[in-house]
Amino acid sequence: MNDDISNDNDKPRAATIVDVAKRANVAVGTVSRYLNGFSIRRTNREQIEEAIQALHFKRNAAAVAMKTDITHVVGLLAPSLDEFHGVMIEHLSRALRRDGRALLIYCHGGDTRLMEDGLDYFSTQRIDALVMSGVEHLFDRVDQVINDGVPLVLYDNDIGGLKADRVFVNNREAATTAVRHLLDIGHRRIGIVTGEMSDSAAKGRYLGYCDALTERGLAVDPQYEASGHWTMLGGNEATRRLLSLPEPPTAIFSVNYIMALGALRFLKDSKIRVPDDLSLISFDDPALFGLYDMGITAVAQPIVGVAQTIADVVERRLRGAKESPFSTTNLRCDVILRGSTRPA
């Protein structure tokens, strides 16, 4: 590999942090963390040191000094731009803009490496605060972000033990209300399509399902539980497994709308009618659920409320309240009754 950095006129130019990252085969944010004295993996450190030496890289002192500036930029590490996040981002961006701040978004699609790269990326962008849906295996990395002086707001999923503000919905209570509705109209064999149980949202919704059964004196039967892994394909497969039981459920509760769409695809392909043959409830209420002929009964999250509360927490934390106690806000969900449920 040629170590010289040249422009179009073949004149040598000073190596940049991008050149170092490219040669070391790491993210730019990882190089930035190394240059700022933060801990990184040993293999990454060795590769970066080799690249710095080979490229004769010299750090820009002016750029280092800029790190102390307030940027009025808030970072959002989001899993996707799905129906939930699309609406939340729109309203969160608008609420932050009213406070004179901009929203910088990094989508990771659930990819572990992209999550870490996203955190590295934000470390180079001098954000004032970070907003993210928690992922347990990122504990150490996110804790380092907090120790670097960046306030954190968690939404949707928690990471226990972190010094952060939290904005959630009442997952457990809302799920209890949804499943209780199915019990009220006579269903006793109720299946659940769960998410990843390492996520606090999935765990809360599952516990709400258990609460509703237990309060009616019904046993929680593991055969009526199937993981859909938060995906449409997973929801399809989970529904297939539940309905292949010798005594299949008469109703299914899906703990998010993407898996509910997978369930609906399976039911359509199998010519199983909703609600004549099976009742269905989903957690989340995208606009398309109201467009079905019968409509899909759903737990509606207060997405606008979540966005506004996050913006309020960020504003309070950045307006001189950095040492105040951390807050946890739980917002109420509504169950929207439509035609996808009927008496057993």
In the chain, domain spans? 17-65, 70-169+303-331, 171-301
Tens digit of each residue's pLDDT, the chain (344 residues): 444 444 444 556 678 888 888 999 988 888 877 776 666 788 888 898 899 889 888 765 444 444 445 788 999 999 888 889 999 999 999 999 988 899 999 999 888 889 989 998 898 888 999 999 998 889 999 998 998 889 999 999 999 999 999 999 999 999 999 999 999 999 999 999 999 999 999 999 999 999 999 999 999 999 999 999 999 999 999 999 999 999 999 999 999 999 999 999 999 999 999 999 999 999 999 999 988 888 999 999 999 999 999 999 999 998 876 678 899 999 999 999 999 999 98
Domains 17-65 and 70-169+303-331 share a fold: no
Predicted local confidence at residue 220, as pLDDT: 97
- Residue 249 sits at the vertex; the CA angle it makes with 244 and 255, to the nearest 5 degrees, is 100
Mapped onto helix, strand or coil, the DSSP state of residue 336 is strand
Q: What's the rounded Cα separation, in Å, for the pair 325 and 344?
A: 49
Residues of 214-232 as b/e, b for ≥16 C-beta within 10 angstroms? eeeeeeeeeebbbbbbbbb
Predicted local confidence at residue 164, as pLDDT: 96
CATH of domain 171-301: 3.40.50.2300
CATH of domain 17-65: 1.10.260.40
Q: What's the rounded Cα separation, in Å, for the pair 196 and 268?
A: 25
What CATH fold (topology level) applies to the domain 70-169+303-331?
Rossmann fold (3.40.50)
Predicted local confidence at residue 49, as pLDDT: 87
Tokens 């406070």 belong to 99
